Amino acid sequence: MIASLRSLSERFRFGVILVPLLLLLTTLLLAPPDGIERAPLLQFVGRFHPLSVHFPIAVLLIVPLFEFLGRKRNAPFLLPSVNFLLLLAAVGAILSAALGWCLARGGGYSGPLIRQHMWGGLLVAAASLICWRLRSGDSAAPSRFYLPMLLLAIVLVSFTGYRGGQLAHGETHLTEFLPSPVQRWLGPSSRLTSVSSAGENPSTFYGGRIQPLLEGHCVTCHGRNKHKAGLRLDTYAGVMRGGKHGPVIKPGDSKSSELFRRITLPQNDDDFMPADNKKPLSTSEVKLIGAWIQEGASRTLSAEALAALPANDANRLTTEVTFPDLDPAAVVRDRTVVAPILSRVQLRLPNIVEYESRTSADLVVNASWLGSKFGDDELAELASLSPFVVAADFSGTAITDRSARIIAAMKKLHHLRLAHTAITDSTIAGLGTLDQLESLSVFDTKVSESSLPVFTSLARLRKVYAGGTRIPQDVAAPSQVREKLVF
């Protein structure tokens, strides 16, 4: 009884494995991967495909090695295990192919790559099974079809593996860093540039600047072969159509556009794109996309229309401020001349003069808080720093016209306050060379009408705070001076 059962299973062994293969075939035919994402459980199981797939590949590749070495004199013991290896390869291939189907069907894959990979996998399983069948009779003298069949299985597994690699790591994952002479020799077709944008006009803003960005960062997952969340970013139509959760672009409104939101989230956010620690878009790239959406997400908008981006004027398009980057090395370099002088002066006059900001080598002086304790002698100590000062406040200090020369040497000044001081027109007369000056306060000083020509001559000067001076409010002066005066 037991013996007969065993012989039955011996006879139908082939069938026991053939049945799942046929089942798999039916599944693939009836429910091919169609680019729609499905049940998370299916995807979860499917994620084990990349893990398990290397097992049958390795086993199958060992078979020719064993066959070869086993026929040498010193390792005949290898031959008997080949049958088992082939069986293992067949079972492993069927299992991984089934897992692969789960991944493809669940994860939103479709397209030629996945199709080739899928059928390749199935054929590998079939070929291993046939090899096993052909060899399982007499190991000493296998069928004459065995060797060609084994060869075919090896070719198939290589092809399928390559396609799988393209799916996981991008279409050019093998050829990308091929030495360029070899690439040239192989010809342009080998570069597999087939993914690049189909017929986008590079002179449009979309074709020239946006599409390349999407290709560089997005299409591995949202492209022809994988369209996660049903989203394809490899064509303009796909970009505008959006994914299974609806459109990702809202023309004219970058802030409510899902695509823009995803790329501007904090990088550790679950929804951040590109996902899985792939290289994020740079700030300027993000700004470019934001600007393009803000301007209507047009396909035909010319590249020149937004040519200035992202260098400047970005605020007009996206009302976001940018925080300047700090490059410590550059700051140190900029400050080489001023730093030693500044630290010397700061020792003598603490909290009077400081850098305008952490990114700049320009200086800001404020002596007003010292009041009468700050006079011409103290100001003289700042003389060596004059060329670097961009804003100075001497309001309420004891400085007099004696300091005029030092103030006049502050060529970069754009803001100057001399309110409540003893300075007179003679100090103002020296300021004619401060061509950067934008704002000047002489509030509550003895400055008079004779300073007006100086105010006129300074082209960038916008405001002169002249209340409490000898300049009357109704002073007769040309309108371009009058406009500058604030009382």
Beta bridge partners of 391: 364, 415
Site string for another protein, 280-319 (x = CB under 8 A): -----------------------------------x---x
Stretch that binds another protein, among 20-28, 114-122, 296-304, 365-373 (CB under 8 A): 365-373
What is the rounded distance in angstroms from the CA atom of residue 104 to the CA atom of residue 98? 10
Q: Which two tokens stand for residue 311?
A: 């260098």
How many other CB atoms are found less than 10 A from the CB of residue 428? 26
- The secondary structure of residue 366, as a DSSP letter, is E
Q: Is 467 in the site for another protein (CB under 8 A)?
A: yes
113/458 with CB nearer another protein:
458
What is the rounded distance in angstroms from the CA atom of residue 229 to the CA atom of residue 249? 15
How many other CB atoms are found less than 10 A from the CB of residue 307? 10
How many other CB atoms are found less than 10 A from the CB of residue 148? 10
Q: Is 334 in the site for another protein (CB under 8 A)?
A: no
Report the nearest approach of another protein to the CB of residue 107 (Å): 31
Among 75, 307, 326, 330, binds another protein (CB under 8 A): 326
304/483 with CB nearer another protein:
483
What is the rounded distance in angstroms from the CA atom of residue 6 to the CA atom of residue 347? 99
What is the rounded distance in angstroms from the CA atom of residue 242 to the CA atom of residue 233? 8
7/315 with CB nearer another protein:
315
User: Which uninterrupted H or E stretch holds 386?
Assistant: none
Q: What is the CA 96 to chain-centroid distance, rounded?
A: 34
Distances (CA, A) of 132 to 14, 58, 387, 390, 392: 9, 16, 88, 85, 90
Instruction: Report the interhelical angle of 112-135 vs 2-30 (nearest 10°).
Output: 160
36/475 with CB nearer another protein:
475
Among 76, 80, 296, 324, binds another protein (CB under 8 A): 324
Q: Is 177 in the site for another protein (CB under 8 A)?
A: no
Among 203, 351, 457, 480, binds another protein (CB under 8 A): 351
Stretch that binds another protein, among 46-54, 61-69, 118-126, 344-352 (CB under 8 A): 344-352
What is the rounded distance in angstroms from the CA atom of residue 274 to the CA atom of residue 281? 8
Q: Is 358 in the site for another protein (CB under 8 A)?
A: yes
Among 350, 459, 474, 478, binds another protein (CB under 8 A): 350
Report the nearest approach of another protein to the CB of residue 370 (Å): 8
What torsion do the CA atoms of 279, 280, 283, 288 make, to the nearest 10 degrees?
A: 100
Site string for another protein, 411-450 (x = CB under 8 A): ----x-x-x-------------------xxx-x-------
Binding positions for another protein, 374-413, rule CB under 8 A: 395-396
Report the nearest approach of another protein to the CB of residue 285 (Å): 19
Q: Is 321 in the site for another protein (CB under 8 A)?
A: yes
Site string for another protein, 207-246 (x = CB under 8 A): ----------------------------------------
Report the nearest approach of another protein to the CB of residue 431 (Å): 15
Report the alpha-carbon angle 271-272-275, nearest 5: 100
Contact 442, 419 (CB under 8 A): yes
Report the nearest approach of another protein to the CB of residue 347 (Å): 12
93/464 with CB nearer another protein:
464
Binding positions for another protein, 76-115, rule CB under 8 A: none
How many other CB atoms are found less than 10 A from the CB of residue 207? 19
Binding positions for another protein, 253-272, rule CB under 8 A: 266
Q: Is 366 in the site for another protein (CB under 8 A)?
A: yes
- The secondary structure of residue 323, as a DSSP letter, is P
User: Which uninterrupted H or E stretch holds 8?
Assistant: helix 2-30
Report the alpha-carbon angle 150-50-135, nearest 5: 20
Chain positions contacting another protein, by CB under 8 A = 266, 315, 319-321, 323-324, 326, 328, 350-352, 354-360, 366, 368-369, 371, 395-396, 415, 417, 419, 439-441, 443, 463, 465, 467-468, 486-487
